[in-house]
Amino acid sequence: MIHQPIHTLADAYRRGDLTPTAVAEAYLARIDALDRRVRAYLTIVREQALAAARESERRWRAGTPRGPLDGAPIALKDVLCTRGVRTTAGSKILDTFVPPYDATVVERLRAAGAVILGKTNLDEFAMGSSTEHSGFHPTRNPWDLTRVPGGSSGGSAAAVAAGMAAGGFGTDTGGSIRQPAAFCGVVGMKPTYGRVSRYGVVALASSLDQVGPFAQDVTDAAHLLGAVAGHDRRDATSIPAPVPDYAAELAKGVAGLTLGLPDEYFIDGMDPDVERAVRAAIEVLKGLGARVESVSLPTTRHALAAYYVILPAEASSNLARYDGVKFGLRVSAHDLVGMESRTRAAGFGAEVKRRIMLGTYALSAGYYDAYYGKAQSVRTLVRREFAAAFARVDLIVAPTTPNVAFKLGEKEDPLSMYLNDVFTIPGNLSGITGVSVPCGFSVSGLPIGLQILGRPLDEARVLRAAYAYEQATSWRGRRPDLP
């Protein structure tokens, strides 16, 4: 039952071949056996998971399941607030924080009958591309335990890849779902900004953050997204638009669609295995009836620099609330200033401190226009270029990352780490949707991801193209060898 997609589990529940309780117990046992090596989780909610599974089992036996996610074992990135369960954001400063409410995404998953197994590891406050910058421990890639799973949502990606969850959720601020999905050989979806509520999500950069699913296949990704998407009055940025039946759209294929291929996404220094696999995937899509033409996104080369001004600026504002006064860690001192300084020094890691300082500087008097203002101007250009491209093509296809998963500790220089997000960041700056789907392996056996980008609110077409490619290839059937 491990590594069965969620929709296959639902079919087995319907037939009576499996029960949600047996499946939850199997996943919890696998976590016990494997997570000492992978270290994908920060918190396991064993009793809650089994209780939810038993309730799901009663519904299936009564013939009244809540939908395709009823009884599905799910892992949540530890930035999603969970009532009564600690939510750390991967930081020591929130080590003992227990929210009194659920995030909207969590509410909707519970309403759909999902069985939440636990909270997964991440780069502290989602600041990173490798899950090495967690305040607790690094997570390892199930395909090679000496390598990173990507980040910042590396814990959720690794849990799904390792068969320690049937599906998962993360957040994508600059590629933090798509990049670990590519590194771990799973499907990872970034919805349109505003498609999924951010209420109850520990904020990093409020104009960039978006919640999305990890899945074993595209069908599961469609079901997971459908369960959590939709307007939420508690989130001022939530889009009041109807949610399509994503799963029902999958089988329409790509025949007749025009796919844009941006030259700027094939750069010097790219891993030749990645370029080979992505170009082969594009040939598969052409063979399925899609037409491919070149598009130009010249501001892509400036997007990384703009992002690393905008994100730290917003992060420095969002993280100002962690001062030891209302919640989280408090380190005593003789006065308020001393207490705040000591608390932040003890609670924040090096990468978080680095970005707070960068962001505060970019927002300071005399520098705001030179840095933050110019970065926002670049963001506008990125949006316009995507809009112009989508006036000519239906979707854009590109590599998800320029390289495969790298060794733990290999990228100690911050700039080399930041470059991992060069192909995913433009999608966040523009607010569009995108998915990473497995498209091959390197000569060393590491997964490679194909990125498919679409217009705002065009998740259905993005998933449709990913599904067509997935069904025409066999990559989804390969799993890491973790005895």
Active site residues: 77, 152, 176
Distance in angstroms (rounded) separating the CA atoms of residues 299 and 213:
28
CB of 482 within 8 A of CB of 266?
no
Per DSSP (E only), the strands in 217-343 are 258-262, 291-295
Sheet holding 167-171, edge to edge: 41-44, 115-120, 73-77, 167-171, 211-215, 187-190, 433-441, 447-454, 395-399, 258-262, 291-295
Run of H or E including 190: strand 187-190
Q: Which residues contact 443 (CB under 8 A, 6 or more apart)?
A: 273
* Residue whose entry in the numeric block shows the structure tokens 């899945």: 215
Question: How far apart are the C-alpha atoms of 459 and 446, rounded to whole Å?
Answer: 27
Scored b (16 or more CB within 10 A) or e, 5-21 reads bbbbbbebbeeeebbbb
**Spatial CA neighbour of 402 closest among 175, 204, 123:** 175
The count of other CB atoms within 10 Å of the CB of residue 257 is 20
Q: How many alpha carbons fall within 13 Å on the CB side of residue 20?
A: 30
Q: Are 177 and 189 in contact (CB under 8 A)?
A: yes
Where b means 16+ CB within 10 Å and e means fewer, 177-206 reads bbbbbbbbbbbbbbbbbbbbbbbbbbbbbe
Q: Are 427 and 193 spatial neighbours (Cβ–Cβ below 8 Å)? A: no
